[in-house]
Amino acid sequence: MSTTVAAPAAPQKTHCPYCALQCGMELTPAGTPGPDGRAPLPVTVAPRDFPTNAGGLCQKGWTSATVLGVPDRLTTPLVRGADGGLTAVTWDAALDLVVSRVRAVQAEHGRHGVAIFGGGGLTNEKAYALGKFARTVLRTPNIDYNGRFCMSSAAAAGNRAFGADRGLPFPLTDLGGADVVLLLGSNPAETMPPFVQHLAGARGRGGLMVVDPRRSATARLADDGQGVHLQPVPGTDMVVLLALLHVVVAEGLADRDYLAARTTGWDDVVRSVAAWWPERAETVCGIPAEELRATARRLAAAAPARGGRGAYVLTGRGVEQSAQGTATVTAAINLSLALGLVGREGSGYGCLTGQGNGQGGREHGQKNDQLPGYRKIDDPAARAHVAGVWGVDPATIPGPGLPAVALLGSLGTPGGPHALFVHGSNVLVSAPNADRVRERLAALELLVVCDVVPSETARMADVVLPVTQWAEEEGTMTSLEGRVIRRRQAVDPPGEARSELWLLAELARRLGSDVAFPTDPAVVFDELARASAGGVADYSGLSHARLDVAEEAGAPGLFWPCPAEPPGEPAHPGTPRMFLEEFATPDGRARMVPVDHAGPTDDVRDDAPTYLVTGRVLQHYQSGAQTRRVPELDRIVPEPYVELHPQLGLRTGVADGARVRVTSARGAVEAVARWTDTVRPDTVFMPFHWSGAGSVNRITSDAVDPISSMPEFKVCAVSVAPVPQMADDVGAHDAHDAHDAHDAQEVPA
């Protein structure tokens, strides 16, 4: 049954399996001894010179080979038996069971009764095949992915303003020449450390400006005389942006010629920010009015219209994971347009995508309302084009389905999905209000999880299917810059692990579909390219072969859009910098949209007087399913914790190093308290990489942005109290951890 191609023995140029920086690395099949005398690692990792990392790697990248050989790597299909445990079976037995249960669910609940939840770490080829499988084989509208938690608010705002959504519409290396970089809601010094070198130019010129309620590692780079750190009340980033634009308008700092030539909506935006003079903004966001004025003036002085080297405004999850995330990003875009930054070489607006293929994963079919090429699924012309590539009637392609939070909340309910496939996501740790997600997963008639390790979500599954991971497969990824790059196989997959391309083709065959599902990644990419032709994210001029040739010639990846040229014409070079001539809107102009501040959905109140903000730590990634299995990383940060200011600790009676209980409207979590002055006295911070009693997403808000459906992870109201040292409390804590431990024991070694 194996369809795996043997891995080459020579070193392979590829990319890190983690974040969207996609650092270049070289893998050598090694068999070298692992750290601390452990079994040999499958490959040796070495950094290579690539534009995003310039020869650097973070701790996660250096230790990435360990995940290839973790002791509990999934290597055979597992099926839940009558005793409640997971038992190893053959692929035939597992797939026969999946097919029979899918048919039963469809017979009782209809085609929409089966859903798919994908992942932003899947290759472009697998993301494309997953969307195609949902819409042509299952014919369900219900597919979405964890990228909904990543960049959906920035995507919605970018599409509305520019007519296109690319995280950075310019190469990352452009940042180095700028006088000023204004960074909101992102901590790249910990989330993607090699990124920081691109801030060195602005930092050296005193122009790194970081907006963050914590004095994060990135904020400290600006707080040492190399820039400025603005520390707003959580959930008020939009107020900061509205005040900055108010100053730009009031002091005549806007680029009037640019606005007249390249935008619409300026007058409405001017009226909308009139009420946000800095003194009023200070009463809401807590940043002194004169700091807001100085920041606006410094940003404007760096703009091309005023003779500066250039300026960039960058946003990240801290401002986007909000019920007003789309509006906040729109405010950042309005500020950037007012200063004439966007579509000019050396300046711009961009969003720092988090997941490895968060960009490509949504461009080609995992998002609930999109078809390949970033086409809207309810556009008749888009449906006709993609249907022609797939060889199906356009009328058979379902319309938009439910976005992620609504999809997870509907599982097992009347009218909702009763079977779910999960690919490359660990929703029990990564989704908001995670205890509710656990309840909904438990209500399913069938849960199928495709993964490389027994994640918390996999431990709940009825069927677990072992799939290949980064160094075991060929494919492409799309970095945060929109750079399409090659992922290359360096080692063979272990045991019975199979590519999802094979898995989807096999399921399609067994479910009686006559739609072709090729399993060669290069062939799948060629089909993806045809399906994307003419779309906003046009890959039609790309192929594995062209990307390989370009890299050998010194061009590391090619940027979309990269359309196919007519026969006899030179190949399109790709588009490193978008919008230089016009925007991707019908009239070629950027659309400026007035927005206003509403505040968090779950704001502080008498019974919950403290803000909770969440984020990542340097050593761990997303739900921690990979990095918590790396001993070197787990030793450094082995458990969750709560950062709180000493003033808050004294006020609540929570001692440094004691266990603290953090309670929201959705429940309570417990972890060790860490006193620090890097967080505001009205705020606590928790990283989100763990399950169990300290799994912070059990209490985060699942309120969503009305436009993007992004959940409001980043801010909610909580109370903080010491954990009583009583037997009942200790027992409750132990019981929750024991539940996770029991799940873990169900997975055969």
For the cut 80, the answer to whether the pLDDT of residue 639 exceeds it is yes
Confidence of residue 132 (pLDDT cuts 50, 70, 90): very high
DSSP 134: I
- Pairwise CA distance, residues 28 & 557, whole Å: 21
Reading the block at residue 345, the tokens are 């070489």
Angle at which helices 380-390 and 521-532 pack, to 10 degrees? 150
Asked whether residue 204 is domain-assigned, the answer is: yes
Q: Is residue 1 part of a domain?
A: no
Question: Which residue range forms the structural domain that includes residue 335?
Answer: 152-352
For residues 138 and 722, give the distance between their C-alpha atoms in angstroms, rounded to a whole number: 50
pLDDT band at 703 (very low <50, low <70, confident <90, very high): very high
**262 in a domain, yes or no?**
yes
Claim to verify: residue 379 and residue 345 sit in the same structural domain: no
- Residues 156-184: pLDDT tens digits? 999 999 999 999 999 999 999 999 999 99
Are 374 and 337 in the same domain? no
Query: Is the pLDDT confidence value at 741 over 60?
Result: no
pLDDT for the residue 37? 53
Indicate whether 108 and 94 sit together in one domain.
Answer: yes
With respect to residue 593, please indicate whether it lies within any of the assigned structural domains: no
Does 310 share its domain with 206? Answer: yes
Q: Closest Cα to residue 697, out of 605, 622, 620? A: 622
Same structural domain for residues 159 and 140?
no
- Do 485 and 632 fall into the same domain? no
Contact 45, 27 (CB under 8 A): yes
Report the CATH number at residue 344. 3.40.228.10
Domain CATH code at residue 449: 3.40.50.740
Residues 491, 361, single domain; the answer is yes
Nearest to 342 by CA among 688, 640, 5, 589: 589
Question: Which range (27-41, 228-242, 362-376) has the least confidence?
Answer: 27-41
> For 260, how many CA atoms within 13 A lie in the half-sphere containing its CB?
3
Distance CA 108, CA 128 (A): 28
413 plus 302 within the same structural domain: no
Are 616 and 701 members of one domain?
yes
- Domain harbouring 634, CATH code: 2.40.40.20
Residue 584 lies in a domain: no
Task: Establish if 588 belongs to a structural domain.
Answer: no
Please tell me whether residues 626 and 733 are part of one structural domain.
yes
Average pLDDT of the chain to the nearest whole number = 93
Asked if residue 735 has pLDDT above 60, the reply is no
pLDDT of residue 353: 87
Give the whole-angstrom CA distance, residue 700 versus residue 602. 10
- The values of phi and psi at residue 522, to 5°, are -65, -40
Nearest to 21 by CA among 470, 473, 485, 368: 485
pLDDT in the model for residue 101 = 98
Query: Is 231 within the bounds of a domain?
Result: yes
Give the pLDDT band of residue 151 (cuts 50, 70, 90). confident
Residue 728: which pLDDT band, with cuts at 50, 70 and 90?
very low
Q: What digits encode the pLDDT tens for the residues 400-429?
A: 999 999 999 999 999 999 999 999 999 999
Quickly state the pLDDT bin for 6 (edges 50, 70, 90): low
CA atoms within 13 A on the CB side of 741: 7
Nearest residue to 148 via CA among 323, 362, 458, 329: 362
**In whole angstroms, what is the distance from residue 120 CA to residue 356 CA?**
6
Q: What distance in Å separates the CA atoms of residue 566 and residue 459, rounded to the nearest whole number?
A: 51
Two structure tokens written together for 102: 């899918």
Q: Has residue 139 got a pLDDT over 60?
A: yes
pLDDT one-digit tens code per residue, 254-264:
999 999 999 99
Verify that 371 and 479 share a domain, yes or no: yes
Percentage of the chain modeled with pLDDT above 90: 90
Q: Which of 295, 318, 352 is the last residue of a domain?
A: 352
Return the pLDDT at 42: 87
Q: pLDDT class for 737, splitting at 50, 70, 90?
A: very low
> How many independent structural domains does the chain possess?
4
Domain edge (last residue) among 352, 381, 407:
352
Cα(74)–Cα(692) distance, integer angstroms: 22
Residue pLDDT, tens place only, 328-342: 999 999 999 999 999
Distance linking the first and last C-alpha atoms of the chain = 23
Given a cut of 70, is residue 38 above it in pLDDT? Answer: no
CATH code, 55: 2.20.25.90
Compare 571 and 3 and report the one with higher pLDDT: 571
Domain presence at residue 259: yes
pLDDT of residue 36: 57
Checking if the pLDDT of 711 tops 60, the result is yes
Neighbouring CB atoms inside 10 A of 49's CB total 10
pLDDT tens digit sequence for 64-105? 999 999 999 999 999 999 999 999 999 999 999 999 999 999
Q: Are residues 679 and 530 in the same domain?
A: no
pLDDT at 726: 62
List the single range of 143-152, 322-331, 375-384, 685-694 with lowest mean pLDDT: 143-152
Q: Helices 289-302 and 278-285, interaxial angle, to 10°?
A: 110
Which of 352, 387, 416 marks a domain boundary?
Answer: 352
541: its two tokens: 């001029």
